[in-house]
Amino acid sequence: MSLPITGNASLVLAVVFGFIFGLLLQRGRVANYNTIVNQFRLKDFTVLKVMFTAIVVGGIGVLVLHRLGYAAYHIKPANMLGVVLGAGIFGVGMVTYGYCPGTGIAAVATGSVHALVGFAGMLVGGILYALSFSWVNEHILGVAALGKVRLPDVTRIADWIWFIILAAVAAIVFYAIERLMPKT
Amino acid sequence: MSQITNMPNGGGGFLTRSRWNPYLVGIGIGLLSWAVFAIVNAPLGVTTSLSQWAGLAAEPVMGVEGVRANPYWTKDFPQWDYGTFFLIGTFFGALVGAWLSRDLKIEVVPSVWRERFGGSPTKRLAVAFAGGILAMYGARMAGGCTSGNGLSGSLQLAVSGWTFFITMFVTGLATAWLMFGRKRSSVPSSSTESGKERI
């Protein structure tokens, strides 16, 4: 069997991987409005714990796989104006919706009606983006477009040093959270 | 607080427990990303496929030709592909998870919202709808959402990923402060999961 798996077999795997992802989101309590909004109110750090842990664990593994030739990188272009504006809008949307797109879908499955209504909003948002894409592409995406760059490219700090830094920051932040925050 | 439901359901094992340790969940998502990168040569992502669904949703109004002619959907044309099946899996994973832990509940107005803005479903649903529009529009402009940029991008040390992660946290904090931070809620906080009823 050779990797990567493509074609119909990959569609079966897609369902399996998605299933695990949805299960983890639900059990991690991040498919939950209160958990997400309370993260941004700094009252509950579950979202940060899940995401930062996933980034460090996932990143170290994908780096090793990449170096061994088992994984390719999929870097999105750093169109800095587009990323900053888009992420800025996204942050407002995530707190008002109370979910991000992935956790929103998971929340719909657990019975959240407002997640379903927001899901309809996401489809509208997708249509609005497609309709305005020509303008955005012309006026925003090309501004400060750095290409598909990674932090090691722009900082000249090696990958493994980045992960030592990230792991250390994660350890300190998690320690502080566990010491300072009341147990939920 | 709002996390009353954290308590494991009486006598249940790991699979029926309502909540898993967030660090374990993070490790699980990290391991999942290894598998996804290595086995199907794809990052974890959500909104690329969602924008294809938006294309399908637009077809009754714009027509198939209209959608096909759109320069954005030419790039990511609506199709039954890996990303779409991944989202179907996500839905069922959360469904089965909630079913096993008896957390399937109809929720219209969540307790944190209710404490601040009251129990009106109209208000909550209107803001959720508007929020969904913003989240999707922003995610597409940025090239990905919390999964594609925040998680997959950041774990690859992508500049776009970390820029996204940090920026969305800043505006999210500001939004939460504007919505919830200015004054204490006048509605007494309830200790039960109000607004939720078991199915």
Q: Is A31 helix (H, G, I), strand (E, B) or coil?
A: coil
Contacts of B50 in chain A (CB under 8 A): 101, 122-123, 126
Chain centre to alpha carbon of residue B13? 26
pLDDT tens column, A23-52:
999 999 999 999 999 999 999 999 999 999
User: Cβ neighbours of residue A6 under 8 Å, at least 6 residues apart?
Assistant: B40, B41
pLDDT in tens, A131-164: 999 999 999 999 999 999 999 999 999 999 999 9
Q: Is the peptide bond before A4 cis (omega within 30 degrees of 0)?
A: yes
Please report the pLDDT score of residue B68 as a whole number: 85
pTM for this prediction? 0.90
Please spell the DSSP secondary structure of B109-132, one letter per residue: S-HHHHHHH-S-HHHHHHHHHHHH
Question: CB contact, 8 Å: A161 with chain B?
Answer: no
Q: What is the mean pLDDT of chain B?
A: 86
pLDDT of residue A183: 65
**Which pLDDT score, from 0 to 100, does residue B45 have?**
86
Distances, alpha carbon B192 to alpha carbons A8, A21, B110, B117, B183, in Å: 46, 28, 11, 17, 22
* Nearest chain B CA: its distance from A60 CA (Å): 8
Q: How confident is the model at residue A1 (pLDDT cuts 50, 70, 90)?
A: low
The answer, yes or no, to whether residue B92 has pLDDT greater than 90, is yes
ipTM over 0.90: yes
Lowest-pLDDT choice from A128-132, A163-167, B6-10: B6-10
Nearest CA in chain B to A79: B160
Is A179 within 8 Å of chain B by CB? no
Q: B24-75 pLDDT, tens per residue? A: 999 999 999 999 999 999 888 898 888 888 998 898 888 888 888 888 887 6
Structure tokens at A165: 């830094």
Is residue B4's pLDDT more than 90?
no
Separation CA B114–CA A108 (nearest Å): 19
Q: Are strands B196-198 and B105-107 parallel, antiparallel or unpaired?
A: antiparallel
B110 touches A: beta carbon within 8 Å: yes
Question: In chain A, pLDDT over 70 holds for what percent of residues?
Answer: 98
